[in-house]
Amino acid sequence: MILASKEKSTMSTSMTRERVLCLKVWIPLGVIIMVVIEVLFGVMIVAKLPLGVQLGGRVTRWLKPPTPTLPPPVSACDKIILRPFQSLTTVALASYPQSGNAWTRHLIEKAAGIYTGTVHDAEKKNTKALKYFPGNKVDYRSGRVICVKTYRYDPRHIREFEAAILILRHPFQSIISEAYRQHLLKPTMTEGERDITLKSHRWRTFVQKESLRWRNIALRWLELARNTYVIHYSDLISSPNQTLEKMVRYLNVPVRLDRMECALSQYPPLLTAEERINKWHHQRFYTTESPYSQELESTIMEYIVDVNISLMMNRQKPFPWNLTIDLY
């Protein structure tokens, strides 16, 4: 009994000592180890996030074996900037709609390395347009962009610019394309519905109005701008190299062949309907048949002759006469 109780007491004292040891040493030690582990995990998580970059290379290298991360491929023409305020002259990139203005803007931006702007308010707020052309957001008179898209042709507007590039595309092609943009023609139309529209009075009025606008845009910019340089869309298609180079020179930017080549590889001329639809996500129908009646055709031809005369008088390249149009 006594022995047993003695044993019990020694047992209980050793148990107390263990409890003390546990309280004073093991628990704090455990807490410290847990804290250290948590801190380490925390650091590792942070190091994987973008914040971890700020930890410096040494920490991340220590946490993770260096994996050879290849930088994303950079092409010669990927870097495009806005120039400082008032550092460029205000040059228009004028055209009738659907004349390759957007394509030309991309080519110039890539080749020159400077963003282009717009005068059209709707494009300054449209997020999709801003994604493609970040220069849309700046004031076109700020001298920060290399040239400025405009479809306007009122004399006061034209005189806001010190110079202009005028893009001319054959009205046969631009006008039908514009009919889709204005939803007079719709990609959802059946062939029958399309034929009815193309024979309607509405179509006739549309073509008369739009061909006159095509003529006036060209004549006004040729006659009223301080300095105009004409680019024919057909030249941009048949010799994109030389045509782009001429525009870059006209804009007073050093010609960089690597940038030009890069620009043209990213925005090559699109020759078939399929290529155009895929590249620009155009929802429209192309046809090889002329949508213009003989009467409309002769009206358009008269306007072309007017523009051609003005081109000659302003010492610009004449309108291509023998241009064969195989896709409307």
Pick the stretch among 78-86, 160-168, 267-275, 311-319 that binds ligand NAG (CB under 6 A): 311-319
Read off the tokens for 22.
């546990």
> Considering the rule CB under 6 A, would residue 261 count as an interface residue with ligand NAG?
yes
Among 103, 133, 140, 319, binds ligand NAG (CB under 6 A): 319
Pick the stretch among 39-47, 68-76, 194-202, 315-323 that binds ligand NAG (CB under 6 A): 315-323
281 conformational bin, left if phi > 0, alpha if psi -120 to 50, beta if neither: left
Using CB under 6 A, count the residues that bind ligand NAG: 14
> Considering the rule CB under 6 A, would residue 271 count as an interface residue with ligand NAG?
no
Pick the stretch among 34-42, 78-86, 211-219, 318-326 that binds ligand NAG (CB under 6 A): 318-326
Pick the stretch among 165-173, 202-210, 267-275, 313-321 that binds ligand NAG (CB under 6 A): 313-321
The per-residue DSSP string of 163-231 comes to EEEEEE--HHHHHHHHHHHTTSS-TT--HHHHHHHHTSHHHHHHHHHHHHHHHHHHHHHHHHSSSEEEE
Contact yes or no for 306/217 (Cβ under 8 A) = no
Closest separation in Å from C-beta 64 to ligand NAG = 42
- CA–CA gap between residue 139 and residue 237 (Å, rounded): 31
Compute how many other C-beta atoms are within 10 angstroms of the C-beta atom of residue 92. 25
Contact yes or no for 90/120 (Cβ under 8 A) = no
> Considering the rule CB under 6 A, would residue 318 count as an interface residue with ligand NAG?
yes
Closest separation in Å from C-beta 112 to ligand NAG = 16
Closest separation in Å from C-beta 214 to ligand NAG = 13
> Considering the rule CB under 6 A, would residue 322 count as an interface residue with ligand NAG?
yes
> Considering the rule CB under 6 A, would residue 305 count as an interface residue with ligand NAG?
yes
Considering beta carbons, is residue 160 or 261 the nearer one to ligand NAG?
Answer: 261
Compute how many other C-beta atoms are within 10 angstroms of the C-beta atom of residue 213. 19
Quick one: CA dihedral 291, 293, 294, 299, positive or negative? negative
Closest separation in Å from C-beta 311 to ligand NAG = 7
> Considering the rule CB under 6 A, would residue 172 count as an interface residue with ligand NAG?
no
Contact yes or no for 164/221 (Cβ under 8 A) = yes
Considering beta carbons, is residue 31 or 257 the nearer one to ligand NAG?
Answer: 257
**Which residues inside 198-257 make contact with ligand NAG, applying CB under 6 A?**
239, 241-242, 257
Pick the stretch among 183-191, 199-207, 267-275, 312-320 that binds ligand NAG (CB under 6 A): 312-320
What is the helix, strand, coil percentage profile of the chain, to 5? Answer: 60, 5, 35
Considering beta carbons, is residue 241 or 266 the nearer one to ligand NAG?
Answer: 241
> Considering the rule CB under 6 A, would residue 176 count as an interface residue with ligand NAG?
no
Quick one: CA dihedral 109, 112, 113, 115, positive or negative? negative
Contact yes or no for 264/107 (Cβ under 8 A) = yes
Residues 6+ apart with CB under 8 A from 91: 146, 147, 148, 161, 162, 163, 164, 165, 251
Query: What is the maximum span of the chain, computed from C-alpha positions, in angstroms?
Result: 132
> Considering the rule CB under 6 A, would residue 325 count as an interface residue with ligand NAG?
no
Closest separation in Å from C-beta 308 to ligand NAG = 4
Among 170, 304, 316, 328, binds ligand NAG (CB under 6 A): 304
> Considering the rule CB under 6 A, would residue 283 count as an interface residue with ligand NAG?
no
Binding site for ligand NAG (CB under 6 A): 239, 241-242, 257, 261, 304-305, 308, 312, 318-319, 321-322, 324
